[in-house]
Amino acid sequence: MIYDYYATNNQPFFGVFSFVTICSSQFLTNQRVWYITKMEKKSAPKKSAMDAALFYLGIRDRSVGEMREYLQKKQYEADEIESVLRRLNELSLLDDSVFARRVLRSKTAMKPVSRKEMKAVLIRHKIGKEIVEDTLSEFDHEMELASARKLAEEVTRKVAKYPQEERWRRAAAKMAAKGYPYGVIREALAGMSGEDPEITDDAEQEYTE
């Protein structure tokens, strides 16, 4: 009977699934909306690479590499992509140097981060090697040391019930895992306690890059 109704009214029959859910008019409405939306998307003209780029920038700032990759995935022509990238640069909407420094400030303000970890973040954002190194020149030893001390304080505060040597060991392990070099780890712990932390030769080997 259900099949006859759809056949008579020239409506598509969705099979067993529709038979089970036919009592729900909402189901039929959703199916139709989905079908119409799909057809509209197919027939609608593809938006320009510039429109796509501006949409992507509307979510957050991007590097040139991120934007190029995004537009390539959208299958725009190479010439059109490069033209858009140039125009966005002219409009100061794409600038890797500015973007990299913004990322640096944001990450270091949010939580303790090592220079090594910061470098990995910039590379993941597809920043070029030269700009990465230039940006990291602002992240000097004193900044990294201050960051390491902050992390060490957080760790030792959580394990305050343990003896000092164990607190140091755990803090050092955490700093090493985040990429802080051994010298910074030792200096950070010494600055907290007022004495040189006793880290064994085995531990020194473990924490050295």
Q: What percent of the chain has pLDDT over 70?
A: 70
pLDDT score of 12: 47
How much is the average pLDDT of 104-129?
95
Least confident of 72-86, 118-132, 155-169: 155-169
How much is the average pLDDT of 77-95?
95
pLDDT score of 84: 96
How much is the average pLDDT of 86-95?
95
pLDDT score of 39: 59
The domain limits of the chain are: 2-43, 49-94, 95-139, 140-209
Mean pLDDT of the chain: 80
User: DSSP letters of the chain?
Assistant: -HHHHHHHTT-----HHHHHHTT-HHHHHHHHHHHHHHHHHHHSPPPPHHHHHHHHHHHS---HHHHHHHHHHTT--HHHHHHHHHHHHHTTS--HHHHHHHHHHHHHHHS---HHHHHHHHHHTT--HHHHHHHHTTS-HHHHHHHHHHHHHHHHHHTTTS-HHHHHHHHHHHHHHTT--HHHHHHHHHHHHSS-----HHHHHHH--
Write the CATH number of the domain with boundaries 49-94.
1.10.10
pLDDT score of 208: 41
